[in-house]
């Protein structure tokens, strides 16, 4: 990550999962508090980046973009490319899929914030995001969420249905959309017209399925350039 730790124990804590803290070692703190802090710092950095990059886009678009960039799936991929699992303390089996590596990324960001301050942390995070993601591709995906969801349903022989209703009247009129997959509501959205409400609902469905199923539609951002070339994690003190 191009950073030399100043407070090494802080980064060791960031890489220590709660499962590694045994009853006989209560003096060793786990990384949950740093994860909490790192999550907030990451949201702030990504929020500022998107706010500056897209000065004319609304809150809904910015929220969806941020959700994709900081999703647990993406953070797990980033953790793997950085080699975080090789230097983590954890008693969990690495063979099963979990959010532990991605959580450690957030914990490291929290440690970095305490150790180096916001501006240094921001520089590192923005560099990783810009090299790991193609924002143009992520933006295209946001525009065509409904089509991708319908295509996903056709390939898996699942019935995908959008239901839209109008609420309010006059200038206060807006639309509420629901995505039904095999008869079950998997996403809801709203907007000033039917199209935007359906797109919002499609993105909601993607987020819902990512949290429930391992075979949910993959985000385009995952196909971006590898992060390994910017990573220097090698099992040593440098992160």
Lowest mean pLDDT among 31-35, 38-42, 215-219: 215-219
CB contact set of 156 (below 8 Å; sequence gap of 6+):
none
What are the pLDDT digits (tens) for 144-189?
Answer: 678 778 878 888 889 999 999 888 766 667 889 999 999 999 989 8
In the set 30, 35, 39, 198, the catalytic residue is 39
23 with 126, same domain: the answer is yes
Task: Examine the residue annotation and report whether 39 is marked as an active-site residue of this protein.
Answer: yes
Q: What is the pLDDT of residue 166?
A: 84
- Given a cut of 60, is residue 234 above it in pLDDT? no
Q: What is the mean pLDDT of residues 18-30?
A: 74
Rg over CA atoms, the chain: 20
157 with 211, same domain: the answer is yes
* Residue predicted with more confidence, 40 or 156: 40
Q: What is the pLDDT of residue 142?
A: 63
Of the candidates 185, 175, 181, 220, the residue with the CA atom closest to the CA atom of residue 64 = 220
Q: What is the pLDDT of residue 13?
A: 93
38 with 109, same domain: the answer is yes
- The phi and psi torsions of 187 (rounded to 5 degrees) equal -165, 150
Determine the structural domain holding residue 90 and report its residue range. Answer: 8-133+224-230
Model confidence band, residue 50 (pLDDT cutoffs 50, 70, 90) = very high
Q: What is the pLDDT of residue 143?
A: 60
Domain CATH for 56: 1.10.1520.10
Model confidence band, residue 224 (pLDDT cutoffs 50, 70, 90) = very low
Mean pLDDT of the chain: 80
SS3 of 95, please? coil
Residue positions counted in the chain: 239
CB contact set of 217 (below 8 Å; sequence gap of 6+):
148, 149, 152, 206, 209
Query: What is the CA angle 199-200-203, rounded to 5?
Result: 85
41 with 156, same domain: the answer is no
Task: Examine the residue annotation and report whether 27 is marked as an active-site residue of this protein.
Answer: no
In the set 30, 35, 106, 141, the catalytic residue is 106
DSSP secondary structure of 18-56 = GGG--TT-TTS--SHHHHHHHHHHHHHHHHHHHHHH-TT
On whether residue 237 sits in a domain, the answer given is: no
127 with 149, same domain: the answer is no
107 with 37, same domain: the answer is yes
* Residue predicted with more confidence, 97 or 222: 97
Name the domain count of the chain.
Answer: 2
SS3 of 191, please? strand
Percent of the chain with pLDDT over 70: 79
Domain CATH for 173: 3.30.160.20
């Amino acid at each position: 990550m191009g950073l030399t730790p100043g407070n090494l124990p802080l980064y060791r804590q960031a890489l220590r999962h709660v499962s590694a803290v045994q009853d006989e070692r209560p003096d060793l703190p786990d990384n949950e508090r740093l994860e909490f802090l790192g999550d907030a710092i990451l949201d702030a950095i990504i929020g500022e980046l998107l706010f500056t990059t897209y000065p004319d886009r609304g809150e809904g678009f910015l929220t969806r973009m941020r959700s994709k960039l900081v999703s647990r799936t993406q953070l797990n991929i980033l953790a793997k490319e950085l080699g975080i699992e090789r230097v983590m303390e954890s008693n969990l089996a690495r063979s099963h899929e979990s959010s532990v590596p991605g959580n450690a990324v957030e914990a490291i960001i929290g440690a970095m914030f305490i150790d180096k301050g916001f501006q240094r942390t921001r520089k590192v995070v923005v560099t990783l995001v810009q090299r790991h993601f193609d924002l143009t591709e992520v933006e295209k995906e946001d525009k065509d969420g409904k089509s991708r969801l319908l295509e996903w349903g056709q390939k898996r022989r699942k019935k995908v249905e959008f239901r839209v209703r109008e609420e309010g009247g006059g200038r206060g009129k807006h639309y509420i959309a629901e995505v039904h997959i095999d008869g079950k509501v998997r996403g809801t959205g709203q907007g000033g017209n039917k199209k935007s409400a359906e797109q919002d609902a499609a993105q909601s469905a993607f987020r819902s399925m990512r949290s429930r199923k391992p075979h949910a539609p993959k985000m385009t951002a995952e196909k971006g350039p590898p992060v390994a070339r910017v990573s220097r994690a090698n099992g040593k003190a440098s992160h």
